[in-house]
Amino acid sequence: MKITYRASAMRRLVPLAAAVLTLGAGAAVTMISAAPALAAPGYDCPGGVFCGWDGRDGTGSMIVQVDASCVLHDIGNGGVGDRLTSYWNRTGRTVGVYNWTGERWQLLASVANDARGTLPPGADNRADAVKVCD
């Protein structure tokens, strides 16, 4: 009699254990798939550099990443001129965003340290250079 009881109890426990394992596995999958949604989109930029993207709010392709050396970085000659839309300045210095007019470098925007955002409409998709330490 006891053997029958254990066998029937085991038959009831096996489906219950399978259901718990299935629920647990489903919860794990849900947590893993939900994790990327918690990350803030855009603005992925390491410290110490100026980063720029061709999309708004730090999205799209990163088209420029320059260090804090005090030089003019000609991004137009690098093939990414007139594409800069958003930025994050993590250089510790002010960064100037410039357009080449054909005769001179025209300052479009001055970006303070640790500032991030989208360029104003008059500067959007016009940058040909960035200069750290303006």
Mean pLDDT computed over 58-84: 94
Mean pLDDT computed over 42-66: 95
- Residue 1 scores a pLDDT above 60: no
**In the prediction, which pLDDT does 125 show?**
97
Q: How far apart are CA 53 and CA 61, in angstroms?
A: 5
Token representation of residue 90: 């993590």
**In the prediction, which pLDDT does 18 show?**
43
**In the prediction, which pLDDT does 42 show?**
87
Mean pLDDT computed over 52-68: 95
Domain ranges of the chain: 1-39, 50-132
**In the prediction, which pLDDT does 133 show?**
85
CATH hierarchy code of domain 50-132: 2.60.20.10
Q: What is the pLDDT of residues 22-45, one digit of tens each?
A: 334 333 322 222 233 334 568 999
**In the prediction, which pLDDT does 14 show?**
44
The set of residues, in sequence order, having a beta carbon less than 8 Å from that of 134 and lying 6+ positions away, is 93, 94, 95, 96, 107, 110
Mean pLDDT computed over 104-115: 96
